[in-house]
């Protein structure tokens, strides 16, 4: 029997493959689209038994080639660019693809764990897995929202596990291929290394400079939650997956710069000191993000905790310290 990971060469997918390897699972079929070939680097230190292109994979699923051979699908494959304007592409890649796999897993009694997104909540202030709080601001969020609605319709009759995870702002190793969609921590690391300073948005939405708040979650915690559900096939539903706490972009900047300074044997500095020395710089809020930006997110983890997952999530300070050490060795 095999485990399938879609989006396996991507950020979260490759971390899941590595996490499976670390528990001795190597019979993994990796599925992805390597049109952006540099993503292959995320799998170089991973063990898999096959790599299948996404389009070929869908055709083979529909032709019954995997019937009876699969234990679980961890479905991370999606277009995660929140600025993507091609709605047809987004819906085909995120919604229709997911629906095909959901139908197949339900028919085959295969565990189906999939990536949803906190983008389903839009600009609201309550982040609870309930329909009344959902209102995506872009077509990416809508594609995830619509699939979640399909899952809700199917769950009452499902005889096998279906678990969706609404990822908040994930950061950590193996995201370097994402370009502009990589995490703030990744960009801050590179800005500091190149220019000796980092850039944040000026105040918006009633927040001061750099005081916009997000739920930043370390990718290692994302992997732990996915693998916990894999070990508990009786647990189904849609769950927020964040740190459960909102921290500011200023917090991210301070944590990243100070982790870099620690590598240089320099003392940590406060935000005020970083601003005074010009190491933290604030830039105008971009027009392209107006009306499409979540200035505050904080995942309500009550449903995740009720399901039985009780491991503490890393703070920005702890997670970024580990991440910067990794980046220093790999980038």
- Asked which of 44-48, 77-81, 145-149, 298-302 is least confident by mean pLDDT, the reply is 77-81
- Asked which of 68-77, 249-258, 292-301 is least confident by mean pLDDT, the reply is 292-301
pLDDT at 78 over 80: no
CA 69 from chain centre, in angstroms, equals 28
Task: List all residues 6 or more positions away from 13 whose beta carbon is below 8 Å from its beta carbon.
Answer: 5, 6, 7, 30, 32, 42, 74, 76, 77
% the chain with pLDDT above 70: 98
Is 140 catalytic? The answer is yes
Is 39 catalytic? The answer is no
What is the pLDDT at residue 91? 81
* Tens of pLDDT, residues 194-240: 999 999 999 988 999 999 999 999 999 999 999 999 999 999 999 99
Catalytic residue, candidates 2, 18, 133, 178: 178
The mean pLDDT value for 145-171 works out to: 97
What is the pLDDT at residue 24? 97
Question: Do the beta carbons of residue 159 and residue 106 sit within 8 Å?
Answer: yes
The mean pLDDT value for 145-170 works out to: 97
Statement: the pTM of the whole predicted model exceeds 0.75: yes
Q: Collapsing DSSP states into helix, strand and coil, what is residue 10?
A: coil
Q: Collapsing DSSP states into helix, strand and coil, what is residue 148?
A: helix
Closest-CA residue to 245 (of 164, 204, 299, 209): 299
Catalytic residue, candidates 97, 114, 121, 140: 140
Q: E-assigned strands of 108-195?
A: 111-117, 162-167, 169-171
Closest-CA residue to 72 (of 19, 13, 22, 114): 114
- Residue 296 per-residue DSSP state: B
* Tens of pLDDT, residues 86-130: 778 778 878 899 999 999 999 999 999 999 999 999 988 999 999
* Tens of pLDDT, residues 272-326: 999 999 999 999 999 888 777 888 999 999 999 999 999 999 999 999 999 999 9
**Cα-based angle 216, 247, 120 (whole degrees, multiple of 5):** 50
The mean pLDDT value for 30-43 works out to: 93
Task: Give CA separation, 282 vs 59, 182, 191, 197, 208, in Å.
Answer: 48, 19, 13, 11, 10
């Amino acid at each position: 029997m095999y485990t399938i990971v879609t989006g396996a060469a991507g950020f979260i997918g490759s971390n899941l493959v590595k996490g499976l390897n670390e528990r001795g699972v190597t019979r993994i079929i990796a599925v992805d689209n390597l049109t952006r070939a540099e993503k292959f680097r995320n799998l170089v230190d991973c063990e898999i038994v096959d790599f299948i292109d996404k389009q070929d994979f869908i055709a083979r699923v529909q032709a019954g080639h995997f019937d009876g051979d699969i234990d679980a699908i961890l479905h991370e494959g999606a277009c995660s660019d929140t600025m993507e304007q091609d709605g047809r592409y987004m819906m085909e890649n995120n919604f229709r693809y997911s629906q095909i796999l959901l139908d197949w897993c339900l028919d085959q009694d295969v565990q189906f764990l999939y990536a949803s997104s906190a983008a389903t909540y839009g600009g609201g202030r309550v982040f609870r897995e309930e329909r009344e709080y959902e209102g995506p601001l872009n077509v990416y969020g809508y594609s995830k929202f619509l699939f979640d609605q399909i899952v809700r319709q199917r769950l009452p009759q499902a005889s096998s596990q279906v678990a969706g995870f609404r990822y908040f702002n994930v950061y950590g190793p193996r995201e370097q291929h994402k370009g502009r969609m990589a995490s703030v921590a990744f960009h801050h690391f590179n800005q500091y290394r190149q220019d000796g300073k980092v850039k944040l948005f000026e105040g918006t939405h009633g927040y001061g400079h750099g005081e916009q708040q997000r739920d930043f979650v370390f990718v290692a915690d994302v992997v732990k939650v996915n693998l916990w559900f894999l070990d508990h096939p009786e647990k189904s539903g849609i769950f927020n997956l964040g740190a459960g706490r909102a921290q500011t972009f200023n917090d991210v900047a301070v944590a990243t710069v100070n982790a870099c300074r620690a590598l240089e044997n320099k003392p940590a500095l406060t935000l005020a000191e970083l601003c005074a020395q010009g190491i933290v710089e604030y830039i105008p809020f971009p027009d392209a993000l107006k009306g499409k930006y979540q200035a505050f997110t904080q995942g309500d983890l009550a449903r995740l905790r009720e399901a039985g997952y009780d491991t503490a999530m890393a703070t920005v300070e702890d997670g970024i310290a580990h991440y910067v050490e990794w980046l220093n060795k790999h980038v």
